[in-house]
Amino acid sequence: MKVLPDRQHHLFGTINSYLIPVILLLLFLTVTAPDVFAHGVSEDDKAFIVQSSGIRLLPFIYLGAKHMVTGYDHLLFLFGVIFFLYRMKEVGAYVTLFAVGHSVTLIYGVLSGTHVNPYLVDAIIGLSVVYKALDNLGAFKRVFGFQPNTKAAVLIFGFFHGFGLATKLQKFTLSKEGLVPNILAFNVGVELGQLLALSAILIFMGFWRRTDSFKHQAFAANAALMTAGFVLMGYQITGYFTK
């Protein structure tokens, strides 16, 4: 195992020591102040979407990228997916499956007018985070004696993540003029945002994996990830029954 220079080792050791508390703090704030951390569409973006007509490719690319980068539930799932992937070929395969899944249902959901309950689909997205954390912890083999097909699971959950993205746009009356290219541009933005977030996650993971503490902290990090998924599920299910 390659060891980082002392200064870098100390730096990332310090970052890692705060990683799990920060995740839990964000979860606490998500529950107690959901309006601040909700990754819906901002008021300015709402106004733009409602008022825009015709083909507006660049603005919709920006909106898609912004939504993905601020979509903590999507990023938590992505973090879990690549957590133990060391080869870029494997990362590319899993991320491609996820991208195909959410692209299909995002485009289909908006263009076909297929509506799903946003609270239920977001609860399933929370479940996807729980699943990936349990998968990373080896819980399925230990408890149930079998290992689900991880690639199939990523693709299937990708479908639900896409419907989650679609529900955010379905809240508005989108202009029929230029609708198809605008939605395609939004999806391109989502993919660009995903690549940007993935790059940051991979850089962080690359340094973290080189530290002596990674193996010890991996369990705790995935336990925190699982907690995050349960919190997201609980919040959405509560919203379904109370709103």
Q: What is the pLDDT of residues 64-115, one digit of tens each?
A: 898 888 888 999 999 999 999 999 999 999 999 999 999 999 999 999 988 8
The C-alpha atoms of residue 57 and residue 43 are separated, in whole angstroms, by 20
Q: Which two tokens stand for residue 95?
A: 């991320």
Q: What is the pTM of this model?
A: 0.82
Better-predicted residue by pLDDT, 123 or 144: 123
CA distances, 221 to each of 75, 76, 142 (Å): 14, 11, 19
Q: Can you spell out the DSSP letters for 208-240?
A: HHTSTTHHHHHHHHHHHHHHHHHHHHHHHHHHH
pLDDT tens-place string over residues 124-178: 999 999 999 999 999 998 888 888 999 999 999 999 999 998 988 887 767 788 8
The percent of residues above 70 in pLDDT, for the chain, comes to 78
Q: Which two tokens stand for residue 12?
A: 């990332």
